[in-house]
Structure 1
Amino acid sequence: MDLIGHVRCFVAVAEERHFGRAAARLGMAQPPLSQRMQRLERELGVRLFDRSSRQVTITRSGALLLEEARALLDRSEEFLACATRIKDGQSGLLRAALPSGLARETVAAILADLHQHHPSVELELEELSTTDQLARLASHDLEVGLIHHPCDVAGLELGPVLRCELGVLLPRASLLAARDEVPLASLTGLGLVLFPRADAPAVYDDLLTTCARNGYTPDSLRHGQGDSFVHGLILSVNAVAFSPPDRGTAAGSPSSEVVWRPLAGAPLAWRYSVAWPHGRKDTAIHAFADAVPRALWNTAAVSTDPPPRPLHLRPASEYWL
């Protein structure tokens, strides 16, 4: 038995006190309506109406059930509306990811934007490398993420590609720290602290290739990501690291032993875009895809980078240890 349908018929008859008017209100013929009421009474074991040739009177039992019936219909409508919102991506759980290294202000701005414009979206946000994001997007364990270019974007739709120029983190005591800009070639003889290659192989190779083409071949390569760990390596192993300016702000304070300086000619940059599986048009995904660029524009000094350059997978790095 279609319980919701039968209850809807019961409420209509109870309110109209007339099978003909109730049938017209429901857009159905009177005989099927009468049959539905008879079946509902049999299923419930309760007589709902007293019928005569002239009128329909709701019984005491029917009157007691009427408010419950109305509440059930209200809940069923809320249930269906919620299902529609979930289907359209307007509410429910959105599984999203960001790469490591974003400024805390950027992450906070993304969350604030989503909460303001789409408060019904429950966001499950993770910090994942580009490699992990691509794998989980392909397996449908992730719905949207912010990835680094270049990488393999087959099967994905992309938001605008944004460029964030990189500078160099140096010991304050270094002679290079006295310069307003640091040429890449002047880093010769220094080691480099870089993220693990497995996190974004094409980005890793592209960065080392650009360094080599601009006259810098690192004396050694060490891997690390956390600010404290990276700063410790810079101060102890004769190495430098590349970083966006927002991460260099705190490091550039007078009390810090590590400072950030721009690179001459801005040869290095992170290139980001939001990515999601091709064909997905959920409202929540597009809300995330809108919020992330806004946050990067407002907090991370990004610029628009015209395609297709950041989307092209170059050969492996021209530099080897």
Structure 2
Amino acid sequence: MDLVRHLRFFVAVADEGHFGRAAAALEMTQPPLSQGLRRLEQQLGVELIHRTRQGAMLTSAGLQLLPRARLLVDDAEQLLAESQRIANARGAVHWAVTAALPDRMITACVTALCATVGAGAAVSTTVGTTVDLVTDMRAGLYDVAVVEHPALIDGLATGPVVKVPRWLVVPSGHRVAVAERPTFPMLAGLTFAHPPRAANPPAFDTVLDLLRERGLDAPTVVARDDRALLAAVAAGTTFGLTASPPASAPGVTWLRMAPQAIALRLRVIRRPEAEAQADAVDRVLYRERLR
């Protein structure tokens, strides 16, 4: 049994208090999570989680063992980070970026990072959710990461918040797509496609609050990236936000509404010694900022 992996299951369930939310946070389905936790309990000889209709509650043994489980999971991540750094230390840059950043900006950041390390040095890129990137940055897996703002980044070295343009994408056949003065309430009846809340709860809640302030309380559906978003919008029942500029996409119309309010807010986080790399990425983001 992979002890660290199963301890990570235990920590996730303890943090979320719910198997479904823990599975979503780990980007897996619930059955293997539940089975893995039971295997861990069998291995340890104690019940860790009391399963109820309302959710998951720590048993007395679970409360006592959780701090040790956290230490082991964190130590394993630190070991992985250190081994990767040793294996790739010679001139390499490891950076990560939220999936919300459009492709053109990702490639521009890679080009800027290459210039900081010189010819022949490697620049490796990871795309992920803000929550995962922050966790991995704390574990030392990256030199630099671009995450959405707001996010829980206390204790990390950070740059300023930068706003880059974001558009509303709507079905081409919807009345808001052809309105002379489109408004947010016109979107009533459509669902709002957005990455799952677990990807970055503060940013998710901020966007929903923004829509409500403008008179729209839309139900949400999950779209993990722009490809899923545009497919959902083209189906005619969904709208969403994207930082990818207007393009030829049948069934989809780009609208520029409340540009300052819906702008994508980004922030660079870094290891203390990666200031030069962070500055290079910041310059790319600033070129795209709203004026």
What TM bracket, shorter-length normalisation? 0.5 to 0.7
CA positional deviation for 1:150? 0.8
* 1:302 aligned partner: 289
Q: Deviations over 1:138-181 (max 9, x none)?
A: 12223321111111121111112101243210111222112466
SS at match of 1:147: strand
CA-CA distance at 1:135 after TM superposition: 0.7
1:106 corresponds to which residue? 105
Structure number with bigger Rg: 1
Alpha-carbon separation, structure 1, partners of 2:180 and 2:275? 40
Contact 2:91 / 2:117 at 8 angstroms: preserved in 1? no
Aligned to 1:123: 123
Aligned to 1:287: 276
User: 4+ residue stretches of structure 1 with deviation over 3 A?
Assistant: 179-182
Q: Quote the Cα distance in structure 2 between the aligned partners of 1:180 and 1:242.
A: 20
Equivalence map 1:1-321=2 (5 Å): 91-119=90-118, 121-179=121-179, 182-218=182-218, 220-236=219-235, 238-244=237-243, 247-250=244-247, 253=248, 256-264=250-258, 266-277=260-271, 280-281=272-273, 285-298=274-287, 301-303=288-290
Greater displacement, 232-241 / 142-151: 232-241
Check the 8 A contact 1:145/1:275 in 2, yes or no: yes
User: Do the aligned partners of 1:182 and 1:262 also contact (CA within 8 Å) in 2?
Assistant: no
Distance 1:181 1:293 in 2: 35
Unmatched runs of 5 consecutive residues or more in structure 1: 1-85, 305-321
Q: Which amino acid aligns with 1:101?
A: A
Q: Tell me how far 1:122 sits from its aligned partner.
A: 2.4
Mapped partners of 2:180, 2:276: distance in 1: 39
In 2, the alpha carbon distance for the partners of 1:97 and 1:256 equals 31
Equivalent residue of 2:261, what SS? coil
Deviations 1:264-315 (A, max 9, x none): 46422221111024xx22xxx22321222222333xx3148xxxxxxxxxxx
Measure, in 2, the Cα distance between the counterparts of 1:268 and 1:103. Answer: 15
Following TM superposition, by how much is the alpha carbon of 1:132 offset from its aligned partner in structure 2, in angstroms?
Answer: 0.5
Shift of 1:109: 1.2
Partner of 2:8: none
Q: Is the 8 A contact 1:118 1:287 kept in 2?
A: no
CA distance in 2, matches of 1:181, 1:126: 40
Taking only aligned residues, the RMSD between alpha carbons, in angstroms, comes to 2.6
Aligned to 2:265, the other structure's residue is in SS state strand
Output the CA distance in 1 between the equivalents of 2:267 and 2:103. 18
Question: TM-score of the superposition, structure 1-length normalised?
Answer: 0.58
Distance 1:105 1:134 in 2: 23
Change beyond 3 A, Cα 1:228–1:90 = closer
C-alpha displacement at 1:224, in angstroms?
1.0
**Is the contact between residue 166 and residue 263 of structure 1 (CA under 8 Å) also seen in structure 2?**
no
Measure the CA separation in 2 of the matches of 1:116 and 1:97.
Answer: 17
Q: Which TM-score applies when normalising by structure 2?
A: 0.63
Q: Find the aligned partners of 2:129 and 2:94 in 1 and give their Cα distance.
A: 15
- Give the percent of matched residue pairs that are identical in Structure 1 and Structure 2: 21
Aligned equivalents of 1:163, 1:181: Cα separation in 2: 24
SS at match of 1:249: coil
Relative to structure 1, is the Cα distance of residues 237 and 265 closer, same or farther in structure 2, using a 3 angstrom cutoff? closer
User: How far apart in 1 are the matches of 2:93 and 2:172?
Assistant: 43
Shift of 1:237: 5.2
Query: For the structure 1 residues 132 and 99, does the alpha-carbon distance in structure 2 shift closer, same or farther, using more than 3 Å as the test?
Result: same
Q: Deviations over 1:71-114 (max 9, x none)?
A: xxxxxxxxxxxxxxx99x99533221011132221112112222
Residues 265 and 289 of structure 1: is their aligned pair in 2 closer, same or farther, counting only changes over 3 Å? Answer: closer
CA distance in 2, matches of 1:106, 1:145: 13
Structure 2: gaps of 5 or more residues: 1-84
Deviation readout 1:177-196 (Å, 9 max, x if unpaired): 12466322222221110111
Q: How many residues are treated as equivalent by the alignment?
A: 205
Matched residues in 1 for 2:181 and 2:227: separation? 24
Whether the 8 Å CA contact 1:193–1:233 is kept in 2: the answer is: yes
